[in-house]
Chains A and B, each alone.
Chain A
Amino acid sequence: MKTPLRPLVLAAVASLLAVGCGPTPPAAFRLNMVEAVAPSAEKDSVAAELALSIDQQRQVATILAALFGSPDEPFCQPEMGLDPAKLRLAAGPVRSDIVGRKNGLYREHCVHCHGITGDGLGPTAAFLNPYPRDYRPGIFKFKSTERSDKPTHADLVKILHNGVPGSSMPSFALLSPAEVDALAEYVKYLSIRGETELALMRTFFELDDDAQGKLAETREFLIDEIVAPIAEKWTAASEAVIEVPEMPADEDLAASIEKGRALFHGNKANCVKCHGVTALGDGQANDYDDWNKDIVKIRDKLAKLAAGEADAAERRWAAGFQEVLVSEALRPRTIPPRNLRHGIYRGGRRPLDLYYRIHAGINGAPMPAAKGTVASEDIWHIVNYIRSLPYDFDGELGADRAVAVRPGPAVGLAATQED
């Protein structure tokens, strides 16, 4: 093991540079330290060469600053497909511009939870359950596209407009459409920046020996190989919206719910395995979402080092891991499957929203996609069954009980994409 691990926190560097310039250092993006050290936490034998050295961390920070600017002066490359005017409106300190329009919306409304870097590590984050979204992996749960596709701009606007029920994310319906639009653009900016950072960090490991541990700082590498593929996924999202067939209209609602119940508990859709026979979300309790997996890895490695007899080098590693866990991450929590008896749906309660969740699964979460396996009309039956769950509780739960439903046609349940 060569270098002792010393996380480089860029904010600290920035504040050193700012000495003598005033009491408050300029806002600075933080480096993704979890990603910088996580690969070294995976294995015993090659730990040192898997973590990013301080020089490599510096190179990532330098490249990111050159491509994306700073929180006060963000900029973007044409390949990113972002609108610089919207970014200016959202970024920087809260202030009025020359026409009296408020700027710095992200710092006014979002930064407390989502953090300057969009890492979900704002000052209030630790007190919230669920934790605020970390945008950096570019993974979003509640959207109209296939599981691994990006959300559309409209999906992000919808979350901002409606908030996320059952979480601490409020509705920003009181902002003007232009302001919400600017914030959605800034979320995309922070995501593309975070994904670029991840891609750069992961590339170190693939370098050939003659690169001597340094990334090429050429346009071909940075833009064509790293940024462009990330940005293309974002621009492709609007073309990738899931096509949802009409809910079967001639189906009696009670019959549809009954079919949905069979599917929910059956071996094909298998909802029951995680959401439980009671649908209380109690079927599976020991899984982590994708945002937490690397943190869990580091935590487990630290526990392993603490349990064994660590030599001096291992103690330095343990101290480094400890520092990352305390200052660069929140304590990991397992992800509970949704309790479907509450009638609270984070991604929206329209039948269409539930259809999207079941069809595509939930990106970043254990929820798999039913697409291809469960026919679209069967997905509609499951939607109807799920929508019946909060209302029919009579003290008895489980697969074998009958569902009480008032007879009637499925009128009013049909969804339209424009809703």
Chain B
Amino acid sequence: MSRLVFRSGSLVLGLMAAASAHGDEWGTLKGRFVLGGDLAAAAALTVDKDVEICGKHKLLSEEVVVGGDKAVANVVVFVRDKKVKVKPELEAATKTAKPVLDNANCRFEPHVLFVQTGQELEIKNSDTVGHNSNIATVKNAPSNILIPAGGKVTAKFTAEEAVPAQVTCNIHPWMKGWLVVRDNPYAAVSKADGSFEIADLPAGELELQFWHEKAGYLGEMSIGGKKETVKKGRMKRKIKAGDNDLGEVVLDAGLFK
């Protein structure tokens, strides 16, 4: 049961897209997350371990990262449908892709990383201090591996995680990152400019899910000036062949408080 009310134009387009789903048409979903209202500037983190090295970086909390033009970074968008059809070329490409989580400048880079099940995740340490990566997965066996300065380890996930898993470093307690572990390749994390893009989606109706580490599953957002209430961050959306631009997706500052 979708809570969305489409404007008549997009409804027609949506129906057309549904009709053409069998013909293997692929669409791209994109948009840009912006903050509605204001938030206090990100707080400085308490760096009390390896101060001589980690203290140099003036680390700020990355719980909510708001950039220029109120862009909201690190919003996760993924396709929730278990049996979503995956474009064959994409499937082949993601199988061999190697996502990398770096311990760099005493923070995780990237702060939120998407990993597909079956992919080999490389966790490396570009710092001159040792780290450990404590991965609190629920469906996959949780792990906590020591990674020496300049070293790297690998990890693999076999099951999809319903909620992104937190990664922490017990040596440097301020370090927090997230892994989005999904079975299908259709996921994106919004960039510093707030934009996200998921390409090669099968045309037709898909269930999207929106998540942010501070706000949780996003309960509401404004798309193209229209307010949508989204239960558990889930939204059914018709994807048509070609571009599907959500435009500015406004997230109220209240979600992040």
Contact = CB atoms under 8 A, between A and B. Distances in A.
Contact of B170 (A49, A210, A269, A287): A287
B173 A268 contact: no
Given A284-B170, A366-B170, A373-B148, A46 B134 contact: no
Given A210-B1, A274-B171, A370-B146, A268 B219 contact: no
A368 B151 contact: no
B219 A46 contact: yes
B214 to A, nearest CB: 8
A261 B144 CA distance: 23
A396 interface: no
A268 B170 contact: no
B29 to A, nearest CB: 21
Contacts of B231: 49, 209
Contacts, number: 98
A369 B147 CA distance: 9
A368 B144 contact: yes
The binding surface of chain B is classed by DSSP as: loop
B232 A284 contact: no
Contacts of A366: 134, 144, 170
Nearest to B220: A45
Given A45-B216, A148-B143, A209-B1, A270 B148 contact: yes
Contacts of B55: none
A6 interface: no
B4 interface: no
Interface in B175-228: 214-220
Contact of A45 (B136, B141, B153, B219): B219
A267 B149 contact: yes
A372 B143 CA distance: 13
B143 A44 contact: no
Given A45-B215, A202-B138, A284-B170, A361 B148 contact: no
A205 interface: yes
The binding surface of chain A is classed by DSSP as: loop
A286 B173 contact: yes
Interface string B14-58: 000000000000000000000000000000000001100000000
Contacts of B255: 44-45
Contacts of B162: 202, 205-206
Contacts of B129: 267
B142 A369 contact: no
Contacts of B220: 45
Given A49-B231, A270-B171, A372-B153, A43 B215 contact: yes
Interface string A335-361: 000000000000000000000000001
Contacts of B128: 267
A268 B128 CA distance: 10
Interface residues of A, number: 35
Contacts of A370: 146
B130 interface: yes
Nearest to A369: B145
Given A205-B232, A267-B149, A287-B173, A368 B215 contact: no
Contact of B254 (A45, A267, A286): A45
Contacts of A153: none
Given A284-B170, A373-B151, A374-B146, A46 B217 contact: yes
Interface in B144-180: 144-149, 151, 153, 162-163, 170-171, 173
Interface string A280-300: 000010110010000000000
Contacts of A147: 143-144
B169 to A, nearest CB: 9
A305 B66 CA distance: 25
B257 interface: yes
A286 B107 CA distance: 19
A354 to B, nearest CB: 16
Interface of A: 42-46, 49-50, 147-149, 202, 205-206, 209-210, 267-270, 273-274, 284, 286-287, 290, 361, 366-374
25 contacts: A43-B216, A44-B255, A45-B216, A45-B218, A45-B220, A46-B219, A46-B232, A209-B1, A267-B148, A268-B130, A268-B151, A269-B148, A270-B130, A270-B146, A270-B171, A274-B171, A366-B134, A366-B144, A366-B170, A368-B144, A368-B146, A369-B143, A369-B146, A373-B146, A373-B148
Given A273-B49, A361-B146, A366-B134, 12 more contacts: A45-B220, A46-B217, A50-B216, A149-B141, A202-B162, A209-B231, A209-B234, A267-B149, A270-B171, A368-B132, A368-B145, A370-B146
